[in-house]
Chain A
Amino acid sequence: RPTFADKKSYIVYFGGHSHSSEEASLLQDRVVDSHYEILGSVLGSKEKAQDAIFYSYTRSINGFAANLDEEEAREISKHPGVISVFPNRGHKLH
């Protein structure tokens, strides 16, 4: 397994959710689980995906933020549901 230093944080973005904002709370666990499943298919197990993902966006935005190495980021970007994978970029106060 790559060391922590090889990992960077990325956003994996799937677009929007089909559920409404009101339904979001009810479906939250299911969405999180689907994120584990998808990343797990790249990392080799759901447990590894659980370790890697630090945010699941479950309400309006569909996606997650995870610590990945470059190869893992490249692999997940090939998943058919993924719109974009991009680094957890920094911004400045203005």
Chain B
Amino acid sequence: TTRSWDFMGLERDGVVPESSIWTKARFGEDVIIGNLDTGVWPESESFKDDDMGPIPSNWKGTCQNETDKQFRCNRKLIGARYFNKGYQSLVGPLSPELNSPRDNEGHGTHTLSTAAGRIVPGATLFGYSTGMAKGGAPNARVAAYKVCWPPVDGSECFDADILAAFDAAIHDGVHVLSVSLGGDPVDYFYDGLAIGSFHAVKNGLTVVCSAGNSGPFLGTVSNVAPWILTVGASTIDREFPSYVQLRNRKQMKGQSLSPVGLQQNFHPLISSKEAKATNMSSEDATQCLLGSLEPAKVRGKVVVCLRGNNGRVEKGEAVRQAGGVGMILANDESTGNEIIADAHVLPATHISYSDGVALLSYINSTKSPLGYITTPKTMLDTYPAPFMAAFSSRGPNTINPEILKPDITAPGVSIIAAYTGASGPTGLPFDSRRVLFNSESGTSMSCPHVSGIAGLLKALHPDWSPSAIKSAIVTSARTQDNTLEPMSNSSFVKADPFSYGSGHVRPNRAMDPGLVYDLTTNDYLNFLCSLGYNSTQNALFNVEPYLCPSRPLNIGDLNYPSISIPYLSGAVSVIRTVKNVGTPGTYRVRVIEPAGISVSVKPTSLKFMKVGEEKKFKVTLKAKSRDAAGDYAFGKLIWSDGMHYVRSPIVVKAGG
């Protein structure tokens, strides 16, 4: 990526300070990051292996290139496998050339290079945001596990292939697995991703997954197992403004990565609904689906389309096919102010909901509405940033509301990273353009940022467990934006932990968290016992003999780095244990109480004499009055020795 690491403080204007986690963790040297995705484009500059030492001797992975002899691994891309038997069981046999880990789609190359791509100077998309592309752990080795294939019935990646990839990655010697995919949450023992990630974590791998793109609606978060690090998506401080200039002198700020604009040249404007083709539904035309627009109405005009869930990129092609000269993409109410810069196939810009309403009002109230779209520019240091992406899936966790999900947020809007050479930047068949780097948005893009950071932490602290790495990332997060105000959502209303978990990832703080909330495999098994799984099931799950405790664990007592109490009735207490991973010292507690809830912590100070020492504390929550019942309320618990700030979000629903 060309900006997000600067935004997160790992570098300043291309200079990496001594104090940066990059310097301290040697840019992720000796760590292996795997990616379950659409494969990899091995020729990308992000995977070149100049000056890299020999492949680690304990690496057991392989490079499957028997059908694609051009596909080569190297000392950077040390492994690439594909898994498609589960996919083929549904669609039938694939043509032999598809038996390859090569990424024909672009998604896997983008995510893997975001996690651990090497430093590539001069990275750009159509001349925008030119800079040095870097992954989170540029010196880490990478391995691609291709499990996603062209969509069938709306799905691309299947459990049977995902499990096979997890089994291989664990065996191969991967340290961090990045998984930018998911489905609706289901019971853990019936979910290939939850099962695979459990085995991975049990074997010491950190598993980072995307939270999903079903926001902003509540209860939509996926990948909710407590052993997974689940990542939401937010913006960075970079915009690609492209303005809509109307004849009535009004101007609207949109964003775009179209190679050209309609500079200083007024064109007739039309709403796509008005441009509906005969025999097509108004709904299809409103969304600018391919073939939904009437060429006679559209020719030479700029068409206003509504954003929908069917993909933003097809709309531009629909306008172009109908003879339109430009497109203005307007948000609906749910997506508010979240505007995304995409590589549209014609002059186009994406505007907010309120600007869309004003624009349609101008079109509907004017006899000859006219306007043009300016060529995009790159703007840095924009604010407020970050704010939550509207598409980012939100809690509460529908499987176990006692476990707060997502855990964290990271950059996931208009992220420029390496791309496949097999598809155009819109990813659609009609796009014959080819780019080395592309801009993509989604929790898929935020997930590998955290995977890269997890890789840096693994390099810095090879003895830390996956839970310790997760805790360090979660408890060091921040909830303020760059205006020092609380982070907001895409409508600029204050966001909450159901959107961002503990907040925005802060890598330089994560390397020295002071204390961690650690968890072992047995803790997760106790958690499963509490959900009703018995000793026999858990023994099979774990293999080693295992007996559920005679007194089941209170789920709220799982030593998670956040606290979520979905059913507060009377007083509820939860226990946590913190482990010192910093210097000896005394930590004191501070609580920001959720509205209407009293929170007491005992003891209020914890003294640590040495590294590895553990201390327990008890948090008791109680509604301040009977009237407190209702919505979720949000607070914070902070342990600090004056140098470290170990923050845990508190989420509570009284009378729930």
Contacts and interface: CB of A to CB of B under 8 A. Distances in A.
B444 A93 contact: yes
A65 B163 CA distance: 9
Contacts of A59: 167-168, 170-171
Interface of A: 9, 11, 13-18, 21, 24, 54-55, 57-63, 65, 67, 81, 83-84, 86-94
Contacts of A81: 540
Contact of B156 (A65, A86, A93): A93
A87 B155 CA distance: 14
B148 interface: yes
Given A54-B89, A59-B171, A83-B540, A92 B157 contact: yes
Contacts of B191: 86, 89
Contact of B86 (A14, A55, A60): A55
Contacts of B442: 93-94
B166 interface: yes
A83 B189 contact: yes
Nearest to A80: B536
B420 interface: no
Which secondary structure dominates where chain B touches chain A?
A: helix
Interface in B519-546: 537, 539-543
B600 interface: no
Q: Which of B153, B213, B540 has the most CB of A within 10 A?
A: B540
Interface in B137-168: 148, 152-160, 162-164, 166-168
Q: Which 7 A-B pairs have the closest CB atoms?
A: A90-B155, A15-B540, A65-B160, A16-B543, A9-B89, A94-B210, A94-B444
Contacts of A58: 167
B493 interface: no
Contacts of A65: 85-86, 89, 159-160, 163-164
Contact of A84 (B88, B170, B190, B539): B190
Contacts of B181: 91-94
B643 interface: no
Which secondary structure dominates where chain A touches chain B?
A: strand
A90 B153 contact: yes
A94 B393 CA distance: 10
Contacts of A60: 166-167, 170-171, 199-200, 202-203
B144 to A, nearest CB: 14
Contacts of B566: none
Nearest to A54: B85
B196 interface: yes
B642 to A, nearest CB: 39
A22 B611 CA distance: 32
Contact of B163 (A15, A61, A87): A61
Given A9-B89, A14-B540, A86-B159, A61 B189 contact: no
Contacts of A24: 171
A92 B156 contact: yes
B503 interface: no
Given A54-B86, A57-B164, A63-B163, A90 B170 contact: no
Contacts of B213: 94
Given A13-B189, A15-B542, A55-B85, A90 B156 contact: yes
17 contacts: A9-B86, A9-B158, A11-B163, A55-B160, A59-B168, A60-B171, A65-B85, A83-B541, A86-B191, A88-B90, A89-B159, A89-B186, A90-B157, A90-B158, A91-B158, A91-B162, A91-B182
A2 B270 CA distance: 56
Given A16-B541, A58-B167, A90-B152, A11 B180 contact: no
Nearest to B168: A59
B199 A92 contact: no
B22 to A, nearest CB: 26
B163 A94 contact: no
Given A55-B86, A57-B164, A89 B183 contact: yes
A84 B541 CA distance: 10
Contacts of B160: 9, 11, 54-55, 65, 88
